[in-house]
Structures are given as C-alpha cells and as structure tokens.
Amino acid sequence: MKEVRFFVITDPHFFKNALGAYGDEYEAFMDGEQKCFAETEAISRAVLDDLAGRDDADIVLIAGDLSFDGEKESHEAFSRLLHEFREKSGKRVYVVTAGHDMNENPRIFTDAGLGHTAGTKFDELYDYYRDFGYDEAIAFNREHLSYVVDLSEDVRLLVICNDTAEAKHCTYDDEFLRWIETQAKTAQQDGKMMIAMEHYPVLPGQPVFALIGDARQPQSEKLIDTLADNGVHLIFTGHMHNQSVNVVQTAKGNKFYDVCTGAVIGCPAFMRLVTVIDRDTVRLESIPIPEFDWDKKGMTGEEYLRVQFGRMIRTYIDCMEHDPQRFMRKVRIKPSPVLETIFRRVGRKLSRMTVGQFTRLLFVRADDAVENERFVDFAVDLVRAVFEGNQPYIEGTPAGDTLLRVFRRLRPFFKNLKGTDGEPLDFYETFKHTVGNYGIDDYNAVLKF
C-alpha cells in the first residue's frame, strides 16, 4: 500500500472574539481555565495558516470541540474559516463535533458582566460542517453525526461522535455499536485499513484520569473490543487537552492504540503529523503550534500558554483556602460545611509549605534536591507534566523517588480504589504511572499493530 500522511489537531474551541471576552467576570473565569478564550480566534487562524503552508500532508483531522461553548456566531465563523483554509490550501478537512459544540445558552463576558449569546442545537451542527466529512461520507449515521470516508485507496477513516440530540457524552447502545462493527467489517471486506477518530479518549490519557467521570468514553471497553477485534487498531482523540499515547490488548489478543493530542488553545499545544506506513505500522510526529498574533506580554506562545496553565493550578490551590466551595465545584466534590472547613485548613497549610514539610506530615523523607522547593511551585510543575506527557517523575530521579515514597505511604488508605467504569485500581501503580512515563513516547513514536 502507499503511505498516507495527515495532520491531527484537537479542541480549537473557536470563539468569535467580538462577542465579548473581557472584563472582571472574564478574568475571574479565566483564573480557573487551562485553555485560552479571547485568544482562540487568533490561534485557530495561525494554526490553519501554518498547515496551509505545509506540504507534508493534504488531509487535516480535527478531533472535536470546534467551538468554545456552542456559540452560533462562533460556529458560523469557524465554518467560514475552514472553507477559506480548504480553498487556499487544497487540503481535505474532516471533523467530529463534541459536547462544547452544542449549547442553547452560551456565555459571553463584557464590562457589563456575564451575559449570553445565541447557541446551537445538535441538529444544527450538520449544516455548519456538512462539507467537512458528512456529505463525502460513504456511510453516515445522522443520529450520532458519525461517518466513514476514504482517506486514500487503502486507508479508511471512521469518525465517531458520542452525542445525540437528546444527550451529550453518551454510552453507546447496542444498535450504534452494531453500526460501528458493520463499518469495520465492511472495511475489511473492501481490503481497506481502517483508523478511527472520536473526541473522547477511550483509554485514560494518564491512569489517574480513570477517576474522572467525563475523561473518557463511557464503557469504552465495549468500543475497544468492537474496533480492535474487527481490524481497527488506532483511534485519535482529544477532550482532555493532554498529550498521550496508550495501548491495550483485547481478550482476543488484538492491540488497540489511543493517541490523544493536546488542545491547540492550551498547554500543551501541539499538532500531530501521522504517517500510515503500512497496515501494521504508523509513525507519529508532534509539532508545536505556531506563534499567534496576540499581545503575549513579551512571551513566546508556548510560554504564554504555560503561564495560563500555572494560573489555573495556583487558583485551585488558593481556592482551597479562600473559596473552598469554588474549589469543590471545580473538582466535582459535593460541598458540605465539614469539607469546607477541612479544605480551608489544608489550603492554608499547603500555600505556605515546602515539599519537605509536606512529606514529613506523612512521615516520608523528601530527596534533598526537592526538599526546600515550595509545594505550590512543585505542584504546578507536576500537574502540568501530567498533561504534557513524557512525565519525568520516574523512579531514580529525586522528585520521582520522593513521590513514590508518598504513594507507598498512602496506598493502604485506598485499597478499594475504582475507576469510573468500576474497574479496580491499585493506588500506587496508578499514580506511579501518572507522574512518570514508563511506556510509549507521547510525542514521537512508531506504533506497531
């Protein structure tokens, strides 16, 4: 077969800036956001201009959350931008929509405070994006806005959406799984290699994400088995704004890879260049997003997005002390007066601690190299590394060994830890492989099926 190359970007969260992204309410909102808001239009234009000038590939996949939060004018503007990109570059574009693309009452921010603008229903998304996959499809499931297209004579793309007009982030019912299975079997019968794209990861990007309710496709094991056992061994995903590559093997012995790519509008901001070398081999290369036209206060784009990420984590820690109710809402813990008191006290302590002082509370020794580091600074770097991938806190490093001692100390208190799909999780192993990457390179790798 001939090599096929394409780009993957995820989560552009395009927001038409003129709608309103400024004021005190906006700044308060952005204190807790990983992704940018006002800057998204500028970033999308820079990314598409960059891709238009690249001759590495003539196909672009966009893995969901096309708009910031379903604003009608954002969809109109982003659709026009995609049309302009296609006419300018001659490249083909295939999209999948996701939860942030449907909202009947999206918010905007102005000097007058929080406001709202016209939103978008699920059924309206077809008209905005019909030219970017739907109308070219050789198979189309209108209920789920899911479809199949041929990328080349040898490679076929299955695009899966887990939303419907009735609900977001759905568990796939048997009927839809049968439709997916039919497409996979048809590809085999036609002699095609099939790959897939969905917004939600089907494998947790990092092991700890198994504890977060909307971090992956619900009951994803069924989808993995349906795909991998019918010849589809690779899916491209987004949603969690993290950079990761994970693999699992089905009970029948078939490999399945989930390649999640960082959002273009938040740290880590990367695109992927994918080369399908043959039916058993795919090469991944990661490309940082280009510089974008915005007042970045003298910083590079990468630095600017990193600062926003750090702002989010510092806000969370600060809220533990000064606004515990907001903290609990952000981490999806049901607020209560008792927990409010606990988090307030914990937050006050953490904001003043060093790493060594924190570990001594658990009767654990911190390595000399990190003992005097401020806990908040350490936490910001740690959480950012989890999202950036290739996490450096591995066994044999000062920070890694310190964290592993902490995890061993805490392990007995979490004997019954379970993921959101009910699977048992070993606390130590879950967090060991969350803070340190012992597996596939999350940026540049060759995947073998």
Residue 326 pLDDT > 90, yes or no? no
Written as six digits, the tokens of 178 are 């049968």
Half-sphere exposure of 164 (CA within 13 A, CB side): 10
Is residue 81 included in any domain, yes or no?
A: yes
Is the same domain home to 334 and 274?
no
Q: How far, CA to CA in Å, does 69 sit from each of 105, 122, 197, 200?
A: 9, 12, 21, 16
Q: What is the CATH number of the domain that holds 148?
A: 3.60.21.10
The pLDDT tens digits of the residues spanning 375-422 come to 999 999 999 999 999 999 999 999 999 999 999 999 999 999 999 888
Is residue 448 included in any domain, yes or no?
A: no
Q: Could you tell me if 316 and 330 are in contact, meaning their C-beta atoms sit under 8 angstroms apart?
A: yes
How would you class 279 by CB atoms within 10 Å of its CB: exposed for 0-12, middle for 13-18, buried for 19 or more?
middle
Domain boundary residue, one of 242, 258, 293 = 293
Is the same domain home to 272 and 315?
no
Is the same domain home to 313 and 285?
no
Q: What single-letter DSSP state applies at residue 227?
A: H
Is residue 445 included in any domain, yes or no?
A: no
Domain boundary residue, one of 293, 326, 345 = 293
Q: Could you tell me if 445 and 245 are in contact, meaning their C-beta atoms sit under 8 angstroms apart?
A: yes
Report how far residue 263's alpha carbon sits from residue 23's, in angstroms, rounded to the nearest whole number: 25
Residue ranges of the alpha helices (H) in 167-297?
174-189, 220-228
pLDDT over 90, % of the chain: 87
Position 335 scores a pLDDT of 81
Average of per-residue pLDDT values in the chain: 95
Report how far residue 281's alpha carbon sits from residue 270's, in angstroms, rounded to the nearest whole number: 22
What is the average pLDDT across 140-146? 96
Written as six digits, the tokens of 5 are 């190359």
Q: What is the residue range of 38's domain? A: 4-293
Position 330 scores a pLDDT of 75
User: In terms of residues, how long is the chain?
Assistant: 449
Position 267 scores a pLDDT of 97
Written as six digits, the tokens of 124 are 């309206």
Is the same domain home to 125 and 262?
yes
Report how far residue 267's alpha carbon sits from residue 35's, in angstroms, rounded to the nearest whole number: 7
Domains identified in the chain, total number:
2
Least confident of 38-42, 142-146, 215-219, 324-328: 324-328
Is the same domain home to 169 and 287?
yes
Is the same domain home to 266 and 314?
no
Is the same domain home to 313 and 288?
no
Report how far residue 183's alpha carbon sits from residue 136's, in angstroms, rounded to the nearest whole number: 15
CA angle 330, 331, 334 (to 5 degrees): 95
Is the same domain home to 287 and 312?
no
Residue 65 pLDDT > 80, yes or no? yes
pLDDT interval class at 316 (50, 70, 90):
confident
Residue 119 pLDDT > 80, yes or no? yes
Is the same domain home to 207 and 323?
no
Q: How far, CA to CA in Å, does 404 sit from each of 263, 359, 375?
A: 29, 11, 16
How would you class 239 by CB atoms within 10 Å of its CB: exposed for 0-12, middle for 13-18, buried for 19 or more?
buried
Tell which wins on pLDDT, 35 or 331: 35
pLDDT interval class at 307 (50, 70, 90):
very high
Residue 332 pLDDT > 80, yes or no? no
Residue 181 pLDDT > 90, yes or no? yes
Q: How far, CA to CA in Å, does 403 sit from each of 58, 89, 394, 441?
A: 44, 48, 9, 21
What is the average pLDDT across 174-202? 97
Is the same domain home to 213 and 68?
yes
Q: How far, CA to CA in Å, does 115 sit from each of 22, 30, 37, 122, 226?
A: 11, 15, 15, 22, 44
Is the same domain home to 201 and 313?
no
Is residue 403 included in any domain, yes or no?
A: yes
Helix (H, G, I), strand (E, B) or coil at 168: coil
Is the same domain home to 353 and 311?
yes
Q: What is the CA radius of gyration of the chain?
A: 22
Domain boundary residue, one of 261, 293, 325 = 293
Report how far residue 281's alpha carbon sits from residue 258's, in angstroms, rounded to the nearest whole number: 14
Position 329 scores a pLDDT of 82
The pLDDT tens digits of the residues spanning 150-180 come to 999 999 999 999 999 898 888 999 999 999 9
Q: Could you tell me if 434 and 419 are in contact, meaning their C-beta atoms sit under 8 angstroms apart?
A: no
